[in-house]
Structure 1
Amino acid sequence: MAARATRLTPRGLGLLGGGVGLLVLGVLAGVTALVQVGALLLLTVGVSTALLVLTARHHARGGLTLTRRILPHPVEEGSAATVEVELLATRSGRTAPRVDRLTIAERASRELSDGGPLRARVRRSRERLRLDYPITPVRRGRWPVGPVQLSREDLFGVAHWSGPVGEPALVAVRPAISRLALSSSALASDVDRAALGARSPAADDTSLRDYRSGDDLRRVHWRSSARRGQLVVRQDERSGRRPATVVLDLPQHGPTGEWSIRVAASVAVGLAEAGHHVRLLGGDVLGVVPDHHRAGTGTAAAESLLDQTVDLSMPHSPGQRLSWLATAVDTLHADGGGAELVFAVVGELEPGVLASLARTGEVTHGWAMVRTSETGEAVASPDAQRTAERLRRAGWTVCLVRPGEDVATCWQRLLTADDRVVVAR
């Protein structure tokens, strides 16, 4: 943050120099009028500067109340928002210092405008100053705006004060998502009818999972617990659709990673809005949400999932990438219990993590989009083909996708995949 500073303007420096010169000349020449004019100039500079310093100190000690609003917030990348900054003079006694003579400005991160200029509108009154400017974020993340920079000159223009007021704020930018259709009959098999919210045809519409601290003991399934040698509880699905997990594998390549986040976020939001309890696993912001603590459904759940994606970052090394994915898959195995739907957005996987992820297909049906490469190339590498084939053999529905493709197109390709690995065109 820049320091507050008071300095003389060129006019002030000229008056100061002229005043000193006239004062010295008047004393040496014995001309009283020159001494008086010189003293008047010096007094003007001194008093003006002192009054400006006092005003600045009043501002710094709480004489101004700053309010900043970002509407809407959080904002989606590529969408417009408005930053509103309001300065209100705080009354001291019966009067409040005037703020209509202040010059106001604010810096915003270049990610909020793609490096272009920001055009602001300023509205003034004696005790209130308001600054409005539009932003259009071009990158997901949290980007700073502020602090507010104020400046002011005295009435005679001999001194200038400038400095920051208030604290900077961070604008949360969510990924741009696509609205996906989840009503395709491609998901309506007897095995996964619940993906569309349909009731299972079985008389007992429940599933079992391991007991966790805090579970109601009345939900313990004692017969299965005795058979397994550990407590398990019933997970009733009559009241809604099956829970779902979206597994996200982030690559080192930034543009491919951002595209993967958009795909995963679009799928997660679509499932939440369709009535599923959804969690997103992957990256450094794992967001582990146990089954019995999953977020709700609908708009509120979608908002929560999008908030989770704001702080995701790309891995710095292949080892870190695999570590994040392995943690996500381990969490999936520990908390899933076969009762949930699994959707994955992954790249080329090494055998160990691939085998662990593929095992999910033994207990539930999974859908996977496998990136053709980590850098957006159209031709699928042998490792990408191997990853897709291994998941397909384990019971997953798989399609190859090209980074940068339209998300809705990739989704439709996944829904229309059968027992083949559908290749990106």
Structure 2
Amino acid sequence: MAASGAVAVDGGDDKGGVRAALGGLTTRGRSFLAAGVAAAVCAYVLGQGDLLRVGLLLAVLPLVSVTVLYRTRYRVTGTRRLSPSRVPAGSEARVHLRVDNVSRLPTGLLMLQDRVPYVLGPRPRFVLDRVEAGGRREVSYRVRSDLRGRYPLGPLQLRLSDPFGMCELTRSFSAYDTLVVVPRTEPLPPVPLAGESSGYGEGRQRSLALAGDDDVIPRGYRYGDDLRRVHWRSTARYGELMVRREEQPQRARCTVLLDTRRTAYRGSGPDSAFEWAVSGAASALVHMLERGFAVRLLTDAGDAVPGEGEGGFAGAAQAAADAAGLMMDTLAEIGQSDGGGLSRAHDVLRGGGEGLLIAFLGDLDEEQTGMAARMRQRSGGAVAFVLDSAAWVNGESPAGREAAERRSRLLREAGWTVVPVEPGARLAELWQLAGRDGAVAGAGTAAGPAGFGGWS
């Protein structure tokens, strides 16, 4: 990603520009001007001609510097490039700045300054020596943030100074860039989860969403097509040889549900339970996309990302990298919602058909536990990573453990594979545990309806 702009450094005849130039006097310039005026007044009172000449020299020098700097005419262009433009939290990105002098005059001393949010680090400043006509200068700096989000970079500011340091003028470029800090992800092992089928194969429950079917829309005959696939009815209709298209398998589906309710999490900061859930959802969706699944990100508010394919899933024609980028950009900005329940997410899942459901849930009361249990009935398989945010803040208590075990038991009875998340746990280890528990549970209920029974 790159942003560029041009700045014209020239003079003008308007009085506002003159006042702005005089306002650019530095402390040294103001001191010289004040000393010159004072010396001239003293010389007039005392009748000292030599002192008057010294005073005039001191007063005129900053004014000449202002005039020369104000009447200078040249144009410079600035370009900013991010490498990369999307980084995980805690990683560094490098910002490359390039300044080109596109005028026929050499520049004076330049100070380059880029505006960055304070969370990315101190504001970078660079002093550039004289840039010859047609020349360029390149500098770079690093930015880093432990907090995910979208951070604007710019506009780039150029400060000009005269050789004596009497006056400084600041010009700003108009272009700016955006650095996207996405949640941290970790690689997950390819373990089988309950109700999961391979990305492009058939699951144990055959459906159009998993296996696909022959496309009834024919196409024109191409050299090398099998004549056994000629569609004679369409051939007679269009007057040219038409063949049936090959079977178009559709990708298996996976929904990653992220609970963002404000009442479901306590604490804040990079190590909070909510940030762990966001990072876990990011890791899960990237992993499932790599395995060939059509994935959508769903929140408790009912918002589905990317939402372009059928049922809100990433279509088969949509590149996995594009779908992952869109969902990661959403997770970079996602915050806690004011919603009090999971009912909207349940409504989205109501007609979703088969598919794997992976949920990252915060604190659940009895009502929300029942709502989550009913979500399982709409899915081919379901895995829930449940966080007890109170344990992340105050440590685990016997009463809290008992309540968490009771909620987990209700979810297991509804058919969920439940994995409690301890403070600071690694998702890769919990993912293996979910695959092991799901495989055991699936083997124990193979005779159940549609191949997916309940867990006891």
Tell me, in whole angstroms, the C-alpha distance in 2 between the residues paired with 1:167 and 1:297: 30
- Counterpart in 2 of 1:223? none
Shift, 1:174, TM fit: 0.4
Tell me, in whole angstroms, the C-alpha distance in 2 between the residues paired with 1:66 and 1:344: 46
Out of 248, 251, 255, the residue aligned to residue 241 of structure 1 is 251
- Counterpart in 2 of 1:81? 93
Q: Name the aligned partner's letter for residue 259 of structure 2.
A: D
Shift, 1:68, TM fit: 1.7
Shift, 1:33, TM fit: 4.8
After the TM superposition, which residues 222-301 of structure 1 pair with which residues of structure 2 at under 5 Å, given as runs? 239-250=249-260, 251-253=264-266, 254=268, 255-282=272-299, 286-288=303-305, 289=307, 291-292=309-310, 294-295=313-314, 296=318, 298-301=320-323
Q: Which runs of 5+ in 1 are unaligned?
A: 209-215, 219-235, 421-425
Counterpart check, 1:72 vs 2:74: no
- Counterpart in 2 of 1:228? none
Tell me, in whole angstroms, the C-alpha distance in 1 between the residues paired with 2:33 and 2:362: 70
| 1:122–1:35 Cα change, 3 Å | closer
| 1:239–1:378 Cα change, 3 Å | farther
Shift, 1:36, TM fit: 4.1
Q: Name the aligned partner's letter for residue 402 of structure 1.
A: E
Q: Does structure 2 conserve the Cα–Cα contact (< 8 Å) formed by 1:83 and 1:134?
A: yes
Structure 2 counterpart SS, 1:44: helix
Counterpart check, 1:347 vs 2:367: no
Q: Does structure 2 conserve the Cα–Cα contact (< 8 Å) formed by 1:272 and 1:298?
A: yes
Tell me, in whole angstroms, the C-alpha distance in 2 between the residues paired with 1:12 and 1:185: 73
TM-score normalised by the chain length of structure 1: 0.75
- Cα offsets for 1:278-328 (capped at 9, x unmatched): 01111669345165153235333222221121110123xxxx2434x3322
Counterpart check, 1:311 vs 2:330: no
After the TM superposition, which residues 168-179 of structure 1 pair with which residues of structure 2 at under 5 Å, given as runs? 169-179=177-187
Which moves more between the two structures, 74-83 or 30-39? 30-39
| 1:139–1:394 Cα change, 3 Å | same
Aligned-residue RMSD, C-alpha: 3.4
Out of 354, 360, 370, the residue aligned to residue 386 of structure 2 is 370
Out of 325, 343, 346, the residue aligned to residue 329 of structure 1 is 346
After the TM superposition, which residues 87-102 of structure 1 pair with which residues of structure 2 at under 5 Å, given as runs? 87-91=99-103, 95-96=104-105, 98=107, 101-102=109-110
Tell me, in whole angstroms, the C-alpha distance in 1 between the residues paired with 2:374 and 2:247: 23
Shift, 1:367, TM fit: 1.2
Q: Name the aligned partner's letter for residue 105 of structure 1.
A: Q
Tell me, in whole angstroms, the C-alpha distance in 1 between the residues paired with 2:43 and 2:430: 87
TM-score normalised by the chain length of structure 2: 0.70
Tell me, in whole angstroms, the C-alpha distance in 1 between the residues paired with 2:42 and 2:128: 48
Q: Which runs of 5+ in 2 are unaligned?
A: 1-19, 218-245, 442-456
Shift, 1:177, TM fit: 0.3
Structure 1 counterpart SS, 2:286: helix
Q: Does structure 1 conserve the Cα–Cα contact (< 8 Å) formed by 2:90 and 2:145?
A: yes
| 1:111–1:21 Cα change, 3 Å | closer
Structure 2 counterpart SS, 1:361: helix
Instruction: Report sequence identity in percent.
Output: 29
After the TM superposition, which residues 24-423 of structure 1 pair with which residues of structure 2 at under 5 Å, given as runs? 24-28=41-45, 32-55=49-72, 63-91=75-103, 95-96=104-105, 98=107, 101-113=109-121, 125-126=131-132, 127-162=135-170, 164-166=172-174, 169-182=177-190, 184-187=191-194, 192-195=195-198, 197-200=200-203, 205-206=207-208, 239-250=249-260, 251-253=264-266, 254=268, 255-282=272-299, 286-288=303-305, 289=307, 291-292=309-310, 294-295=313-314, 296=318, 298-315=320-337, 320-323=338-341, 325-334=342-351, 336=352, 338-363=353-378, 364-376=380-392, 377-378=395-396, 381-418=401-438
Q: Does structure 2 conserve the Cα–Cα contact (< 8 Å) formed by 1:272 and 1:297?
A: no
Shift, 1:395, TM fit: 1.3
Q: Does structure 1 conserve the Cα–Cα contact (< 8 Å) formed by 2:277 and 2:360?
A: yes
Shift, 1:132, TM fit: 0.9
Which moves more between the two structures, 21-30 or 345-354? 21-30
Tell me, in whole angstroms, the C-alpha distance in 2 between the residues paired with 1:266 and 1:390: 26
Shift, 1:344, TM fit: 0.6
Which moves more between the two structures, 269-278 or 34-43? 34-43
Shift, 1:72, TM fit: 0.3
Tell me, in whole angstroms, the C-alpha distance in 2 between the residues paired with 1:264 and 1:374: 20
- Cα offsets for 1:236-275 (capped at 9, x unmatched): 9962431110111124433111110011111111001110
Q: Name the aligned partner's letter for residue 307 of structure 1.
A: D
- Counterpart in 1 of 2:4? none
Shift, 1:407, TM fit: 1.3
- Cα offsets for 1:24-64 (capped at 9, x unmatched): 34445555554444334333221212233345xx68xxx44
